[in-house]
């Protein structure tokens, strides 16, 4: 600065630091002015910093060059903040506030800003935002209209002529659960697709009807993996929806062994009273399979309730096989054989 500069540490330092970060050197004329009217005495670009701070709070601490201009900033403001270390360049034309925690969400937000308001998170990144099981958000994947692709460090860019499945979640433009499942179906193992689909259906992020309708609209042009997803939808329409990843794994084990598919979430009633909901059941054979995760026996009360329920089912003539995650890890064949023996004529 041409004027004498000092570091302000007076009674209004806390108010100043909201916009300048501690240690910003201000002109002495500003420091010694009447601080009771902060908006009248602070630097000319004070309102830009406040506007950007508010905007960045909604965008995982990121903002674009165009947004700076919209807030009244200029190229000089940008150069000044970068030089002082108050802003940090993340992507071309995209910045973050210094001191903000670095995360994949911040990187994803910056990638979207770099492409503009027609881009959206997709595939694995969208699945991670939706919290579908076992999806990693990096590298960031985004989809843009055809003809808008460009190279961006650390970002996988896909093109599509159909971007009608876009939502805003946690501050991100992204594909919805229906489109995300369809897009990832050709790039993940079948069991992972089943677990993700069941999770989305269970949480009502999508439905069998919506999935099938969009799959019919999008899957006719050689999209990989559509046959696998159609098989999952057909099976769930017949059996019902497994209620946990362990149940999905158990159902996959049953199918792989060639055992007749069971009914999921079968209600056992006696004299008009609901006694139990079985994970999997073959009612005509009075055989059931219960997928017992840790949550089922996580405390003494849950354990005692489960034992009492098991005794009631046994008294009614049901034969119940309990399956744990460890059982499936160690020997799926043994689990399938036990179920098959009970179902044998």
Q: Is the pLDDT of residue 304 over 90?
A: no
Would you say 62 and 95 are in contact if contact means Cβ atoms under 8 Å apart? yes
The stretch 267-281 carries a mean pLDDT of 88
Alpha-carbon radius of gyration of the chain:
29
Domain ranges of the chain: 5-97, 103-240, 242-345
Instruction: Please state, in angstroms and rounded to a whole number, the distance separating the CA atoms of residues 221 and 186.
Output: 13
Q: CB-hemisphere CA count at 13 Å for 10?
A: 14
pLDDT interval class at 27 (50, 70, 90): very low
pLDDT(87) > 50: yes
* Residue 197 predicted with pLDDT over 90: yes
Spell out the alpha helix ranges (H) of the chain: 13-20, 28-31, 38-41, 46-57, 65-70, 75-84, 104-115, 123-129, 177-184, 190-202, 208-218, 226-239, 245-256, 300-315, 325-330, 332-343
**Residue 84 predicted with pLDDT over 70:** yes
pLDDT of residue 218: 84
pLDDT at 33 over 90: no
Q: Which residue has the higher pLDDT, 221 or 142?
A: 142
pLDDT above 90: residue 83: yes
Query: What pLDDT does residue 35 have?
Result: 32
Question: Residues 156-184: pLDDT tens digits?
Answer: 999 988 888 999 999 899 999 999 999 99
Sheet holding 263-270, edge to edge: 263-270, 273-282, 287-291, 319-323
Helix, strand, coil % in the chain, rounded to nearest 5: 45, 20, 35
Homologous superfamily (CATH) of 242-345 is VSR Endonuclease (3.40.960.10)
More confident of the two residues 276 and 40: 276
Identify whether the C-beta of residue 44 lies closer than 8 Å to the C-beta of residue 80: no
Measured CA to CA, the distance from residue 329 to residue 292 in angstroms comes to 14
Residue (of 159, 229, 165) closest to 201 by Cα position: 229
Can you give the pLDDT at residue 116? 87
Closest by alpha carbon to 48, among 24, 70, 30? 70
pLDDT at 30 over 80: no
* E strand or H helix that includes residue 320: strand 319-323
Residue 151: which pLDDT band, with cuts at 50, 70 and 90? Answer: confident
Looking at residue 295, its pLDDT comes to 53
Mean pLDDT of the chain: 83
CA distances from 64 to 78, 110, 149 (A): 10, 8, 18
CB 88 within 8 A of CB 126: no
């Amino acid at each position: 600065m041409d004027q004498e500069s000092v570091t302000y540490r007076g009674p209004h330092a806390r108010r100043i630091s909201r916009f300048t970060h501690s240690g910003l050197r201000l002109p002495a004329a500003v420091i010694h002015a009447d601080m009771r009217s902060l908006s009248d005495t602070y630097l000319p670009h004070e309102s830009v910093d406040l506007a950007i701070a508010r905007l960045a709070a909604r965008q995982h601490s990121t903002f674009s060059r165009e947004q700076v201009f919209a807030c009244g900033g200029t190229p000089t403001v940008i150069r000044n903040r970068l030089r002082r270390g108050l802003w940090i360049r993340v992507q071309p034309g995209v910045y973050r506030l210094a001191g903000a925690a670095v995360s994949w969400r911040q990187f994803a937000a910056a990638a979207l800003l770099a492409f503009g308001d027609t881009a959206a998170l997709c595939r694995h990144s969208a699945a991670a935002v939706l919290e579908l099981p076992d999806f990693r958000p990096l590298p960031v994947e985004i989809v843009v209209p055809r003809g808008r692709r460009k190279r961006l460090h650390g970002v996988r860019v896909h093109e599509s002529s159909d971007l009608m499945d876009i939502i805003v979640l946690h501050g991100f433009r992204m594909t919805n659960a229906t489109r995300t499942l369809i897009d990832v179906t050709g790039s993940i193992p079948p069991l992972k697709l089943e677990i993700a689909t069941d999770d989305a259906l269970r949480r009502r992020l999508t439905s069998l009807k919506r999935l099938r309708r969009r799959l019919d609209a999008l899957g006719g042009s050689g999209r990989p993996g559509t046959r696998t997803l159609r098989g999952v939808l057909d099976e769930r329409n017949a059996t019902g929806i497994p209620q946990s990843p362990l149940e999905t794994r158990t159902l996959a084990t049953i199918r792989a062994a060639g055992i007749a598919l069971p009914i999921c979430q079968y209600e056992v009633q006696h004299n008009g009273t609901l006694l139990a909901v079985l994970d999997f059941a073959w009612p005509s054979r009075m055989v059931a399979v219960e997928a017992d995760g840790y949550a089922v026996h996580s405390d003494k009360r849950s354990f005692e309730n489960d034992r009492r329920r098991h005794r009631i089912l046994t008294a009614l003539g049901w034969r119940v096989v309990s399956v744990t995650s460890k059982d499936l890890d160690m020997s799926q064949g043994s689990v399938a054989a036990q179920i098959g023996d009970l179902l044998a004529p």
